Chain A
């Protein structure tokens, strides 16, 4: 997108309508770098970080970004035989016309100060993934973004294009190792799902108490396409604010599931919006929040129908595990044409005593029974996620449960 630089610079002082405002001048900027990964170069703390987001094997990763250094590796070679391209975005923007057309096309650089800063100072570090027409990528594509030093801003700008009739499963882990305290992560993601194509995107966040996170995601689903997002955050965080936007065309589908285990003093402002533009398009947004400590969670969900014969449903459920935590559930359904069928349900409660007592009578201690119920509460049958990813997500949900139980 060609936009007047002055307009974007002006946006550097434009706060987001949601979430606490962050003073960007508090953070250091590193020099963006791109390189091929060398095992010896990997920060030893990275393995621990990978573990936090369920990636037990660094060799499976196609792309790693540590702070502002993008590394891509051997898996990329393996995926290339299917015609799949996974390269650092800056390299893609230098070499591929198509990538340039996609960049900053779904998200305006002047949206807010975070997008503006990424556009101006981010150095276009991030990944570019292209899946050619009709290619069903047989293995999940793993990527990881990590922050390993204090007081830094990590920018990431990611573009994924799944071409007509193709299918890909992307798994991204974002994390900091234990001991890292202060920092800011801004991730810009522009996803394109072509005609009759399918993209599943599983993202696992494991941050730390003083880290602020501002992902900005926009997805375009073309005719007959399908986008499935499965987002999990389970660690403490100073604040996270995100509100991904998905535009769905005719016969397209979007399914977004958010699982939030909030803790500490963190502010978790997690939203999802789907706009149904085409006939027979549909959307479902499901969120599960378990909150403890003094955390505050805002679960925002919105479905907007611009055409008749569309369907949308929002389900927001929250579980308060402490006296001082707070959950606000904000589902909004908007219909701009008669004939759209939109619905929502929202409920916030505590663990049902009857269920707890029942499990205890089966021989589970109170702690075990709570863990079983919290784990069950967070279990969502996300459609179309491959079994291998489900197994990993289940492992993560076990971790989330341990974390939520405290």
Chain B
């Protein structure tokens, strides 16, 4: 397994947000975590990335056989974890292409021009990072930076929220490209919009109130959740 979370509980400002979570993802797999707003999906991804606003209150995170529970985020990134933030900060004065170049240099990424084409970010590269970007531009630019990291595991936090249909298409193509390069992906979404654009999904997890309450195969879970929503959908799934 590439990533295993064992009984992982995550706190933010001393409040436990994610409870006793167990997820395992193998190389090249795409897992979707769905759930309503505020269910702890983003906190889970942030904890796997090691963002300092989260604290693991109990449990462990194993990545590629290494216990990374106490590791700082930059070391996790160097091991091969890349997080596409839901709302990346606007950074004035720092050019998008400067950050891209620095990552390309560090990660020896050779197919960046192909990625830039897929995500249509060429016209953004000369601008200050995320400053004045539209919703879709932000998501595409953020995913582009993750792709440049050539991640073994990409954590994509709501890549389909607040974006136009065309951007969702571009983002789905980029995710397919990542999968074709044998990256594993955990994708968090509350709308599920992107799920019908992806060519392959391995598992779908439903997260409610900080807990993974259901895991299943996409053909089983997605039609029900998309039709009935989370509360009723879960009832239907459990009755089966």
User: Which residues of B have CB within 8 Å of A375?
Assistant: 93-94
**How long is the Cα–Cα vector from A372 to B88 in the complex, in angstroms?**
16
Given contacts A354-B89, A357-B53, contact A372 B99 (CB under 8 A): yes
Q: Nearest residue in B to A352 (C-beta to C-beta)?
A: B89
Q: Which of B23-31, B62-70, B73-81 contacts A (4 or more CB under 8 A)?
A: B73-81
Whether A93 sits at the interface, judged by CB under 8 Å, is no
Assess whether B93 is in contact with A379, with CB atoms less than 8 Å apart: yes
For residue B128, which residues in chain A have a CB less than 8 angstroms away from its CB?
A: 376
Known: A372-B99, A377-B93. A358 touches B88 (CB 8 A): yes
Given contacts A362-B103, A363-B78, A363-B103, contact A357 B73 (CB under 8 A): yes
* Interfacial chain B residues near A360, Cβ < 8 Å: 72-74, 77
**Cross-chain pair count, CB within 8 angstroms:** 64
Inter-chain contact A373/B149, CB cutoff 8 Å: no
Any A CB within 8 A of the CB of B190: no
State how many residues of chain A have any CB contact under 8 Å with chain B: 21
Residues of A close to B103: CB separation below 8 A: 362-363
The answer to whether residues A376 and B92 also contact, given A361-B74, A363-B77, A363-B149 and a CB cut-off of 8 A, is: yes
Q: Chain B residues with Cβ under 8 A from A373's Cβ? A: 91, 94
Q: Which of B24-60 contact A (CB under 8 A)?
A: 49-53
Asked whether, in the complex, the Cβ of A362 is within 8 Å of the Cβ of B99, the reply is yes
Which residues of the partner chain A approach B89 to less than 8 Å between Cβ atoms?
352, 354-355, 358
- Asked if A372 and B74 sit within 8 Å, CB to CB, the answer is no
Residue B93 contacts which of A362, A364, A376 (CB distance < 8 angstroms)? Answer: A376
A361 touches B94 (CB 8 A): no
Contact with B along A342-382 (1 / 0, CB 8 A): 00000000001011011111111110010011011111000
Interface size on B, residues (CB 8 A): 29
**Complex Cα distance A122/B204, Å?**
80
Contact A372 B73 (CB under 8 A): no
8 Å CB contact of B91 from A363, A366, A376, A378: A376
* Chain A proximity of B178: nearest CB distance (Å): 16
The answer for the CA separation of A352 and B89 in the assembled complex, in Å, is 10
CA A364 to CA B99, docked complex, whole Å: 10
Residues of B close to A355: CB separation below 8 A: 89, 91
Let me know if A357 and B51 touch, CB within 8 A: yes
Among the listed B74, B85, B93, B149, which residue makes an inter-chain contact with A365, where contact means beta carbons less than 8 Å apart?
B74
> Is the Cβ of B91 less than 8 Å from the Cβ of A361?
no
Q: Which of A358, A362, A369 contacts B149 (CB 8 A)?
A: A362
**What distance in Å separates the Cβ of A165 from its nearest Cβ neighbour in chain B?**
32
Nearest B residue to A379 via CB reads B93
Cα of A35 to Cα of B53 in the assembled complex, Å:
64
Partner pick for B77 among A361, A372, A376, CB 8 A cutoff: A361
Apart from A358-B89, A361-B77, A361-B85, what 6 extra A-B contacts exist at CB < 8 Å? A357-B52, A365-B74, A376-B93, A376-B128, A379-B93, A379-B95
Q: List 7 A-B contacts (CB under 8 A).
A: A357-B73, A360-B72, A360-B77, A361-B83, A363-B149, A366-B74, A379-B94
**Which 7 pairs between the two chains have the least Cβ-Cβ distance?**
A376-B93, A363-B77, A376-B94, A379-B93, A361-B73, A360-B74, A354-B89
